[in-house]
Amino acid sequence: MSTYDSAETGYNTGASSADSSYTQHTGDNVSQSVTGQEAHQFDLTCCCFSIADIEYHLRIEYMVEIADFTKVTVLPLAPEYVLGLANLRGEVMPVIDLASMKSIKRPPRNPVAYRLIVADAGGERVAFLAEGMPRLSSESCGEEIDVISFVKNYKVRIG
Amino acid sequence: MGNIRKQLLGYFLQEASEHLATLEDGLLRLEKDPSDRSMLEELFRSAHTIKGSAALVKLNTTSALAHRLEDTFEAIRDGLISPTRELVDAMIFAMDNIKDQVQRVSNGEEESDAVLASVEHSLKLAEEGYAVQHAIAAAITETPSNEPASTEAEATTTTTTTTTTTTTPAVTSEEATHDTGDTLHVSSSDSDRQITIVEKPKPAFHAERPATPTLRPDTMHHLASGGVIKISSDKLDGMMNVLGEITITKNHLMDQLTVVERLRSEIDFAGQRLLREVNNFSERYSYSVPESVKYKDPLLSEFMELEFDRYDEVNLFAKKLQEITNDVNEALRSLGNFFTRFTGDVGTLDGMIAEMKERISEARMIQAGNLFQRFTRTVRDLSRQAGKPVRLLVAGGDTPLDRVVYDGLFEPILHIIRNAVAHGLESEDDRRKLGKPPVGTIRMSARREGNTAVIDIRDDGKGIQFNRIRKRAIDQGLLDPHEEVRPKDLLKFIFMHGFSTADATDHTSGRGIGLDVVKDRLAALNGTLSILTKKERGTIFRMRLPLSLVIINVVQFRVGKQFFVVPSNLVVEIAEIANTEQRLDGTVHIRDVAMPSVDLSTVFRMQSDSTQPSKFAIVTRVSGTKVALRVDEILSQEDTIIKPFGSFLRELHYYSGTSISGSGMLRLVINPSWIVEGGEKHDEEMLSGAMDESRKPSVLVVDDSLSVRKFASTLLEAHDYEVRTASNGLQALDVLDEHGADLILTDLEMPVMHGYELLGELKRRGLLDTIPVVVLTSRGSEQHRIKAFDLGATDYLIKPFEEESLITTVQRHIKDHQTV
């Protein structure tokens, strides 16, 4: 993740923002609480989501879309953290369950409670499973998912 | 003109038109800005290429003109002269003349060397700084008189390019007009400053003379229309992808059609019922007199009843109902006709899409010869480095390969060749000691089998050395030193990552890419690799690949609740097997042949559908051996696009990607070779014919006469040969596919496929190099004998034959082929 912790943005995990007035909005619908002038300077830099009560964020430039949970085709013999394959308008991508990566058991929920955060890792797409509604924010929250390194480090290795 | 020259000429014309365009563009840029030297190197190279390739097809004038132009470019490049406007004019003049020559050749005419002198003259003058216009003008007027014998043919094609600053271009051209008897017209070309003088085609009354070519700017059009255009492969891929999507939509349409068909029959059935009921009803009530009317008023009884009075509401309703039903019936009939036509149209569309796919695939195809050719230099270099003389033989170079396959195969083949030179072939001395020809041979052959391309890389070296594999496996702790392992099980080790039997990394091998990578690359191309090796006789690496990779025919099947597909080219056959037919050791019996099998529900750890009394076996060829994959249900066969995984899932080798069905369902594409070999099954025959050293040589006897087959079999078996028989050529090919043979003994006259056809087919498949074919026939005439030898027969025996002569012939040829 360190590659993207560059000083130029200042919005890193746990780091205080350049403008302290924004920090207090973390967790709220931020756009409501900024004035017109502030909104002008305001940049949404992260997509924050959570799964099994752990928060993660994805830098906005790697995010493609937030999609409703669709039918996932099971991928036999894949590691547990690969939930399966999703077909979003003809584009097929693996769905990753960050909870099972941390060996946390998710309580079963209604599929409508889930969303898919579609990320682009250099032309290749992966989707992360998220519980509840993810939000776009100027503030990082929880653990950063650096998609490019993620794909490189956690790619499926069999045999 | 020979066919080869014609083909070469075609290539030259295509290439020349590209380079002439480069020249034209570059010269015009140079004319605009003489200080711009950026394109000089390119101009020089274009002229140089035209020179070389023209000389290759014996177009000496074109070559000489290009040579002259090349000299000028070189001089400018080296700073000896500067590109004055006059010099550029002279160069354009030279280029136009090259174009003119090329145009002539393209029209099937001979070159004219009359222009050489004028081009030389104008370039020389310009180089020396003289005003070129005079030279060009002079050239035009002089040309015809210099070459009186060819005035008519030659002079018609003179072209000149000049600038508006020229003093008297019109006069010059008019002079030319008088001389040649042609009319000229002046037209401005792309560049404003430039006027191109173009000759008009001959008027109609000169029709008996050969048509005069129209020159620039039409020249380029003519050159390009030679029937060949170059197109970027991305564009073809794009078309293929669109076609893939169309195919999927078409599949969806076909699926819908069955739904519609069912609806139609339901409506039809309901319609018929309605009709029957209504008819019954109408028959009963249309004309019957209702009860209410039956009472007759005594006062009115003497009056004749009016007809209408007899009908009450029920009658009218019945009548109406019948009419409506008739209408419905008529509509149903029309609907039926419509569906018949519609189904027909969809069928036609299906056929056309298939043809389109075939045509685009063909356009993407590259001949295997082009791939093989890339190795001639490699083999030469490897041979020198290793100090072993090697020759490369190539067969089946005209077999088409998909471009993706072509691109993907280079490295695997390179690796196999490196291995062959480094480990396979012996040194010259060793070969002599073994009685082998001192020069080692590597044979590359390609052939087409259905929708699969088969590529063999064969060396005549010492074969895979199992003792070394064993030693290395023990050294690396992969094998217990006391364990007895069959040779074919040892072969598994060479497919392991990082396994090399070479003692030290050298130039020729040990570059990090191992056979494991070769196998994975092939799997990524939906292909398979198998090895056949014999001690002291060499090794064959056999690769099987689908002909087209973009749109691929697949078999769809179900395991548990999930749907999968497997490329049809990997499927040998599909059989239904009763659950009881599966033995405990996992083998299944299909048509009395036992073969190892893998249950996919076990491999995929899925709940199998145990309610069904039978399962299906998809018989696939893995590394040369048949293995049955047990699945719950076979659903369909269709064309589809396979989308490979991205890097995140690429190493999940159990699958080669995904495919989306017509209804949008996602299906996994299985990779049988990994499922079988990675599926913890070890008793499968991984490698066919693997190093069975004690194997008897096999002979295939092809004859339609049972007695000849029996007689020859008995005789050969008595001499310790393994004999297989076939009653015609086609059967023989099946046997060969299945078992191979060390020698074929064939009759000439047979039903279905006769002996000559069999020889032709064997030749086409490149098998005649490796399998000797002895003709055994009652036809003793010289004419038949010659034809058989022409087709590649090794020997010719006449029936009735002597036992001894048959045996010695068979022995001799098998022995010869073993050492070669």
For A2, phi then psi, to 5°, come to -60, -30
Average pLDDT over residues B781-797: 89
3-state secondary structure of B122: helix
B157 near B118, Cβ under 8 Å? no
Residues B517 and B580 in one domain: no
Tokens linked to A148? 């490019």
Structure tokens at B216: 């620039």
Q: Which two tokens stand for residue B749?
A: 């006259």
Do B358 and B277 lie in one domain? The reply is yes
Note the maximum CA span of chain A: 57
pLDDT digits (tens, 9 = 90+) for B133-187: 555 555 555 544 444 444 343 333 333 333 333 333 333 333 333 443 333 333 3
Least Cα distance to B541 among B518, B525, B509 occurs for B518
Write down the pLDDT at residue B405.
Answer: 81
Mean pLDDT, range B395-407, rounded to an integer:
81
What span, in angstroms and rounded, lies between the C-alpha atoms of B89 and A31?
A: 69
Where is average pLDDT lowest: A24-28, A146-150, B314-318?
A24-28
Task: Pick B646's closest partner by Cβ from A73, A90, A124.
Answer: A124
- Tokens describing residue B772: 């000797």
B351 CB neighbour count, 10 Å cutoff: 10
Among B605, B648, B660, beta carbon nearest to A156: B648
Report the first-to-last Cα separation within chain A, whole angstroms: 28
Q: Identify all chain A residues contacting B605, using CB atoms and an 8 Å cutoff.
A: 76-77
Please report whether residue B693 resides in a domain.
no
Q: Mean pLDDT, to the nearest integer, of B756-779?
A: 85
What does the pLDDT read at residue B213? 39
- Matching CATH number, A2-154, of 2.40.50.180, 3.30.1490.100, 3.90.1150.10, 1.10.300.10: 2.40.50.180
What pLDDT does B290 receive? 53
Higher pLDDT, A158 or B333: B333
Q: Are residues B49 and B187 in the same domain?
A: yes
Residue of chain A minimizing CA distance to B654: A77
Which pair of structure tokens corresponds to residue B302?
A: 């003497």
pLDDT at position A15 over 50: no
pLDDT (mean) for B103-121: 85
Instruction: Find the distance separating the first CA and the last CA of chain B, reported in whole Å.
Output: 37
Buried b (16+ CB within 10 A) or exposed e, B510-520: beeebbeebbb
Contact A73 B650 (CB under 8 A): no
Write the residue in A87, A125, A151 that is nearest to B666 by C-beta: A87
Single out the residue in B646, B678, B710 at which a domain terminates.
B678
Could you tell me if B220 and B23 are in contact, meaning their C-beta atoms sit under 8 angstroms apart?
A: no
Verify that B600 and B712 share a domain, yes or no: no
Residue B431 has pLDDT above 80, yes or no: yes
Q: In this structure, what CATH number is given to the domain that contains residue B388?
A: 3.30.565.10
Residues B196 and B305 in one domain: no
With beta carbons under 8 A apart, name residues in chain B contacting A155: 647-651
d(CA B129, CA B135): 12
* Of residues B406, B684, B660, the one with CA closest to residue B521: B406
User: How much is the pLDDT for B519?
Assistant: 80
Look at A75 and B678 and tell me if their CB atoms are within 8 Å.
no
**Residues of chain A contacting B658 with CB distance shorter than 8 Å:** 85, 92
Q: Of B650, B651, B668, which has the smallest distance from its Cβ to A75's Cβ?
A: B668
Q: Locate the domains of chain A by residue range.
A: 2-154
Average pLDDT over residues B459-483: 82
Q: Which two three-digit tokens encode residue B108? A: 């099937």
Minimal Cβ distance to B606: which of A76, A123, A151: A76
The reply to whether B193 and B286 lie within a common domain is: no
- Using alpha carbons only, how large is chain A's radius of gyration in Å? 16
User: For residue B747, is pLDDT > 70?
Assistant: yes
Interface test with A, best of B666, B667, B674 (most A CBs within 10 A): B666
Same domain, B41 and B54: yes
Domain for residue B63, yes or no? yes
Q: Count the Cβ atoms, other than its own, within 10 Å of residue B414.
A: 17
In the predicted model, is pLDDT for residue B199 greater than 60?
A: no
CB contact under 8 A, B651 and A158: yes
The neighbour count for residue B798, using CB atoms within 10 Å, is: 15
Residue to mutate among B600, B652, B667, B676, with most A CBs inside 10 A, is: B652
Reported as a single tens digit per residue, the pLDDT across A53-94 is: 899 999 998 999 999 988 899 999 899 899 999 988 878 999
How many CB pairs (< 8 A) connect A and B? 70
Domain boundary residue, one of B678, B711, B732: B678
The residue from B170, B192, B224 where one domain ends is: B224
Provide the pLDDT confidence category of residue A128 given band limits of 50, 70 and 90: very high
DSSP code of residue B568: G
Beta bridge partners of B702: B726, B746
Torsional sign, CA B127, B128, B134, B140: negative
B524 touches chain A (CB under 8 A): no
* Cross-chain residue pair A92–B666, CB shorter than 8 Å: yes
**B727: closest CA of chain A, how far (Å):** 46
Q: Indicate whether B685 belongs to any domain.
A: no
Contacts of B50 (CB under 8 A, 6+ apart): B15, B16, B19, B20, B62, B63, B66, B98
Tokens representing residue B241 in the block:
């992808």
pLDDT of residue B219: 46
- Check CB contact under 8 Å for A76 and B605: yes
Supply the pLDDT for residue B498: 66
User: Which residues, 6 or more positions from B164, have their beta carbon under 8 angstroms from its beta carbon?
Assistant: B193, B194, B195
Is the Cβ of A52 closer than 8 Å to some Cβ of chain B? no
Q: Are B597 and B496 contained in the same domain?
A: no
Contact residues on chain B for A74, CB-CB shorter than 8 A: 562
Q: What is the CATH number of the domain that holds B599?
A: 2.30.30.40
Min distance B651 CA to chain A CA atoms (Å): 5
Chain A residue nearest residue B248, CA to CA: A90
Q: What is the pLDDT of residue B758?
A: 92
Q: How far is B366 from chain A (nearest CA, A)?
A: 29
Sign of CA dihedral A99, A104, A108, A113: negative
Pair B514, B499 in one domain: yes
Q: Do B26 and B57 share a structural domain?
A: yes
- The whole-number pLDDT of residue B777 equals 87
Q: Where in the sequence is the domain holding B665, given as residue range(s)?
A: 550-678
B606 contacts chain A (CB < 8 A): yes
Decide if B498 touches A, using CB distance below 8 A. Answer: no
Q: Are B380 and B451 in the same domain?
A: yes
Q: Does B562 touch chain A (CB under 8 A)?
A: yes
Q: How far is CA B184 from the centre of its chain?
A: 49
Taking only residues 72 to 101 of chain A, the set having a beta carbon closer than 8 angstroms to any beta carbon of chain B reads 73-78, 82, 85, 87, 90, 92-94
**Is position B720 within any domain?**
yes
Using CA coordinates, name the residue in chain A closest to B646.
Answer: A124
The pLDDT score that the predictor gives to residue A56 is: 92
Angle at B185 between CA B181 and CA B187, to 5 degrees: 155
- Minimal CA separation from A146 to chain B, in Å: 14
Round to whole Å and give the CA distance between A55 and A104.
Answer: 13
A124–chain B Cβ distance below 8 A for any pair: yes
The pLDDT score that the predictor gives to residue B3 is 62
Are A94 and B649 a contacting pair at CB < 8 A? yes
CB contact under 8 A, B678 and A158: yes
In this structure, of B73-82, B533-542, B810-819, the range with the lowest mean pLDDT score is: B810-819
Q: Do B643 and A92 touch (CB under 8 A)?
A: yes
pLDDT digits (tens, 9 = 90+) for B306-346: 555 556 777 778 778 878 888 888 888 888 888 889 888 88
Asked if B538 and B457 touch (Cβ cutoff 8 Å), the reply is no
Would you say residue B477 lies in a domain? yes
Task: Indicate which of A82, A87, A153, A155 best probes the interface with B, i.e. most B CBs within 10 Å of its own CB.
Answer: A155
Q: Tell me the average pLDDT across B461-485.
A: 81
On whether any CB of chain A is under 8 Å from the CB of B660, the answer is: yes
List of E strands, B271-428? 365-367, 390-395, 400-402
* DSSP-based helix, strand, coil % in chain B, nearest 5: 50, 20, 30
Q: Is pLDDT at B20 greater than 50 in this prediction? A: yes
Calpha distance B204→B209 (Å, rounded) = 10
- H or E element in which residue B787 lies: helix B782-790
The answer to whether B652 contacts A125, with C-beta atoms less than 8 Å apart, is no
pLDDT value of residue A73: 92
Do residues B660 and B572 share a domain? yes
pLDDT surpasses 60 at B190: no
Q: What is the pLDDT of residues B592-645, one digit of tens each?
A: 777 888 888 888 888 776 666 668 899 987 766 788 898 989 998 888 878 878
Domains contained in chain B, number: 5
B84 touches chain A (CB under 8 A): no
B651, B668, B678 member nearest A156 (Cβ) = B651
| Closest chain B C-alpha to A124 CA, distance in angstroms | 6
ipTM above 0.90, yes or no: no
| Mean pLDDT, rounded, for B17-23 | 85
Give the chain A residue whose CA is nearest to the CA of B674.
Answer: A159
What is the rounded average pLDDT for all residues in chain B?
Answer: 75
* Candidate from A76, A124, A158 with C-beta closest to B653: A158
Confirm whether B687 is domain-assigned. Answer: no
The answer, for B49 touching chain A at a CB cutoff of 8 Å, is no
Residues in chain B within 8 Å Cβ distance of A156:
648-649, 651-652
CB atoms closer than 10 angstroms to residue B262: 10
CB contact under 8 A, A74 and B562: yes
Q: Which of A132-141, B37-46, B782-791 has the lowest mean pLDDT?
A: B37-46
